[in-house]
Amino acid sequence: MNGISALFSAKESEVLTALEEAKESGDIQWVRPLMEVFRDHPADAVRTEVASMLSALKVSAASDVFADALEDPEFETVYADILGFMWSSGFVPEESLRRVANCAVEGDFRTVVEALTWIEELENVHDENQLMDAILLIRGALEEGKNADAKGLYEVILSTLLSLEREQ
On the question of pLDDT at 1 being above 80, the answer is no
**pTM for this predicted structure:** 0.94
Q: Report the chain's mean pLDDT, rounded to a whole number.
A: 96
For 70-81, what is the mean pLDDT? Answer: 97
Q: Which residues contact 161 (CB under 8 A, 6 or more apart)?
A: 101, 119, 131, 134, 135, 138
Q: Which residues contact 154 (CB under 8 A, 6 or more apart)?
A: 104, 112, 138, 141, 142, 147
d(CA 47, CA 95): 28
On the question of pLDDT at 168 being above 90, the answer is no
pLDDT of residue 26: 79
